[in-house]
Amino acid sequence: MDPYKYRPSSQYNTPFWTTNQGSPVWNNNNSLTVGPRGPVLLEDYHLVEKLAQFDRERIPERVVHARGASAKGFFEVTHDISHLTCADFLRAPGVQTPVIVRFSTVIHERGSPEAIRDPRGFAVKFYTREGNFDMVGNNIPVFFIRDGIKFPDMIHALKPNPKSHIQEAWRIMDFFSHVPESCNMFTFLFDDIGIPADYRHMEGFGVHTFKLINKAGKETYVKFHWKPTCGVKNLLDDEAVLVGGANHSHATQDLYDSIAAGNFPEWKLMIQTMNPADENKFEFDPLDDTKIWPEDRFPLQPVGRMVLNRNIDNFFAENEQLAFCPGVIVPGIYYSDDKMFQTRIFSYSDTQRHRLGPNYLMLPVNAPKCAHHNNHHEGFMNFMHRDEEVNYFPSRFDPVRHSERVPISQSRLAGVREKAVIPKENNFQQAGERFRSFDPARQDRFIKRIVELLSDPRVTQEVRSVWFSYWMQCDRTLGQRIASQFSMKASM
C-alpha cells in the first residue's frame, strides 16, 4: 500500500459508501435501532459520524435555519392539564413563563429573501423554574423524512449545487424520488401555505410525537400545535415575487414593527393526545413524523396562549447566538421513539457547540433563568465566575446532592439490533387525502408547482416516472394530471 497515493481527493472515491476511516457502510438509509421502530442506538458509529460531520459544515452561519427573526414574551396556561403532566410551567391556569421565539426559513443563507417557498422554523424557548424547555418545530405539521440518518443528504439535495451554487430542481426531484414518505410534506410545501405572508400569520407545530408524564408516572403521547389568533395568511407565487422584490426582510420587519406598535402577536397552544396502548391500532405509525394525527380522531385541546410583547435588544446576541435543541426538556415532558426526533436530540446541541463553542449555554439568551449547578468546567469562552475548591462528585467537602427523582418514560424496550424501515410506512394515503381536500383552483396551483419542478431539463424520464407512480398512489387523478403535462401515461 502506498500511503501517499490515496490522499483526500474525489478521484479516489470508492464505488461504495465508507466512514471517514474508510470502513465499508452497508446501510446508509436506516439508523441502528432496537427493533424496526426504535429507539436509536448511540453505538451506530456511522450515524453519529455522519451527523457530527454535517453539523460542522458551515462556520459560523447555521447550516439550516440561517435566516431568522426573534422576539420575546410570555406563555400563560389557560387550561388545566396537570392530570397529563407534572411539568411545573403547566401546573395550573394563570401560570406565566417567559419565552423567546425564533422564526426562520430553513434552506437558504442568512441574507436570503423571506418570501421564498421554504419550510419555516418555529422554535420556542420556555425559561421555566425547572430549567429551559425548547419546543423546536416548523410551520408544517409533518416532515420530509422519518429517519435522521438521511437528514444530511436531504439538506444537501435542497441546498445549492456545490458546483454551480444554484438551487436546482433536478437534484431535489432526484433525491426525493428515493424517499416516497416525502409526498405528504410536498402536499404542504407546494400548497398555498408554502409561502407564509409573515411570521405573525403562521401556524407552528412540534412535528414530533412527545410524551407527557404525570406525577403518577402515567404516559400520554402528545403533539403540540400553535394557532395564531390573527389567522393564517399566505402569499401566492405572484404576490411573493412582489413582496420579496420590494423588501427581502419583509417578515422580520413586520414582526418588529408590529411589536413596536403594540400589536402583539399571539398564539394559542393546542395539543392532541393518544394513549400509548393504542399506538398499533391505526393504519399509520403515530410516531412517524411524516404523518399527521387526523383531528377528527384526535381533537385539538386548548392548553395556553403565547404573547410576544418585546422586541429583542440585539440581533446578534438574541438571534444569531440563540440556540435550541429538541433534547432540552423538563420533568413531565419526554421523548418518544420517533427516529427523527431521537437523532435531533444529539445533532442540535452538537452543531451549537461547533458554532458558538462548548460553553454556549452560558450566553445570557441560552442560559436558564433558574438556579443551576454542575461540574462542567473550563473550555473555550468559559466566563462563569467560580470559587469552589471541589469540582468533582461525590465529595464529603461539598453538600451538593441529587435532586428529587422525576418521572421518566418506563416503556419497555425489546428487539434485536437492526437497520430497518418501520413496518407501517403508508407513504401515500394522507398525501392523497390532503390533495382531495383542496378546492379545484388550489389543486391546479399545486399541480402547476409540481410540474415546474419535474420540468427541469436535467430531470430524467426515469425520475419523472417514479414521481408519476408516487402521485398516482396518492391520488389517481393527481398522477394522471401531472403525467399529462409531459405527454406520458402514469402507471402505478
The pLDDT value given to residue 491: 54
Please check if 348 is assigned to a binding site.
yes
Annotation marks residue 184 as catalytic = no
Residues 73 and 68: their CA atoms lie apart, in Å, by: 17
Average pLDDT, the chain: 93
1-57 domain in CATH 4.10.91.20? yes
Kindly state the average pLDDT of the residues 282-309.
98
Domain boundaries along the sequence of the chain: 1-57, 68-144+179-362, 429-491
Q: Which of 30, 46, 108, 138 is labelled catalytic?
A: 138
Burial track 126-150 (b if 16+ CB lie within 10 A, e otherwise): bbbebbbbbbbbbbbbbbbbbbbbb
157, pLDDT greater than 80 = yes
1, pLDDT greater than 60 = no
Better pLDDT: 61 or 136: 136
Strands 333-335 and 301-311: unpaired
Q: Cis (ω within 30 of 0) for the bond into 394?
A: yes
pLDDT tens sequence across 127-136: 999 999 999 9
Q: Could you tell me the pLDDT band of residue 194, with boundaries at 50, 70 and 90? A: very high
Percent of the chain with pLDDT strictly greater than 90: 79
pLDDT tens sequence across 417-453: 999 999 999 999 999 999 999 999 999 999 999 999 9
Kindly state the average pLDDT of the residues 67-86.
98
Residue with cell 384526535: 298
The pLDDT value given to residue 8: 64
pLDDT tens sequence across 363-376: 999 999 888 888 88
The pLDDT value given to residue 7: 57
The pLDDT value given to residue 337: 96
| Nearest alpha-carbon partner for 147 in 41, 26, 289 | 289
The pLDDT value given to residue 376: 84
The pLDDT value given to residue 14: 80
Q: Structurally, what CATH architecture does the domain formed by 68-144+179-362 represent? A: Beta Barrel (2.40)
Annotation marks residue 65 as catalytic = yes
